[in-house]
Amino acid sequence: MNIQPKIRVGVLGATGAVGQRFVQMLQGHPWFELSVLCASPRNAGKRYADACNWLLRGDMPAHLQDIILEEMAPGIDCEVAFSALPSGVAREVEAELAAAGYIVCSNASAYRYEPDVPLLIPEVNPEHLGLIDVQRNRRGWRGFITTNPNCSTTHLVSALHPLHEAFGVEKVFAVTMQAVSGAGYSGVTSMDIIDNVVPHISSEEEKMERREPQKLLGRFDGQGVEMADFAVSAHCNRVPVRNGHLAAISVEFTRSPSLEDVRRAWAEYDPLPQRMGLPSAPQQAILYREETDRPQPRMDRLAGSVPGMTTVVGRLREDPLLHVKFLALGHNTIRGAAGGSLLNAELLVAQGYLDSQEEAAGDRTPAAGGVLNAVR
């Protein structure tokens, strides 16, 4: 699929850790052109280099250093807005932009649990895009919001999806070992995490147990999502790892599979983004490691043809209480955050959802002198 001209996109909350990851992943994207960077009123009007403490490997892209940050409001020069906002801010800003005709691909939790907002993992539930029409009709918006799940939920559900399709998930027990980057740059102090494990992450267990997996694996009935009926018990822990969330998962199924059946379900998994060849979709959505001591965050968090976008599983064995147990690993700020929203946007393009936005986009008046003119 060749997109000409490229689709103009913006980043809301561009100075934060996830916002920076959006900026990094959009460099050289074959379909999207970064046309505007937005920040809080405190930083709007400043140069990106002056307002942003760049946290990622390598330097801030040189062509963006002099870009002036804009306020997060209708009038910004883009068709798609990637949101890296805190949930409290996102609640107002994302709705305002969607009402004005923008497509908002959000990493925030503000709208994840709304019954008319898609909570998406493109490999898992692309049919939930049908909620977009429901959302626009109910709310009277010219645009719409899609969301991606919590970073820990993303790889749990990605590993479970082919197993649920083949054998029916009944019960899940998960213990997560989550990287410090999941709490943001200043979220966990060194004195708290060095030589330690913190056995509590605010609201994380609630999201994994009662909210996100059931919606993601639920059935879209034309008007809403019928939640999947299975139980999850989660223990969420913060560990002294920089990037990469690791989860120890035990599962009970409706139909008891052999270990070979489980391996085959993962190996034969060929979901829609891979078949469509979306730019950010790795060739293998799930990669199984045969070694007895893998996956490991340092070794495997960037595995796959698109670094950081693959779910890595391993240590599959029988469980004495449930049916099987295994480990699942994924990069939390790439696939579990910015990369998840990016892949959602690619699916929207491939499924024609941006075509229906052309009339709404024509009604918007771009802000004067944005990033688009500066980059060109």
> Which position among 29, 155, 245, 331 bears the catalytic label?
245
β-pairing verdict for 286-289 and 311-318:
parallel
Q: Which residues fall within 8 angstroms of residue 79, CB to CB, at 6 or more apart?
A: 7, 8, 9, 102, 103, 354, 357, 361
Distances (CA, A) of 139 to 95, 117, 349: 10, 11, 22
Active site residue 151: yes
Integer Cα distance of 108 and 4 in angstroms: 30
Instruction: Indicate the helix (H) or strand (E) that contains 37.
Output: strand 32-38
> Which position among 38, 78, 151, 236 bears the catalytic label?
151
Among 87, 83, 84, 113, which Cα is nearest to 98's?
Answer: 83
Sign of CA dihedral 40, 41, 42, 44: positive
What is the amino acid identity at position 236? C
Among 271, 343, 312, 339, which Cα is nearest to 123's?
Answer: 271
Q: What is the 3-state secondary structure (H, E, C) of 162-191?
A: HHHHHHCEEEEEEEEEECHHHHCCCCCCHH
Active site residue 155: no
Could you give the residue numbers annotated as active site?
A: 151, 245
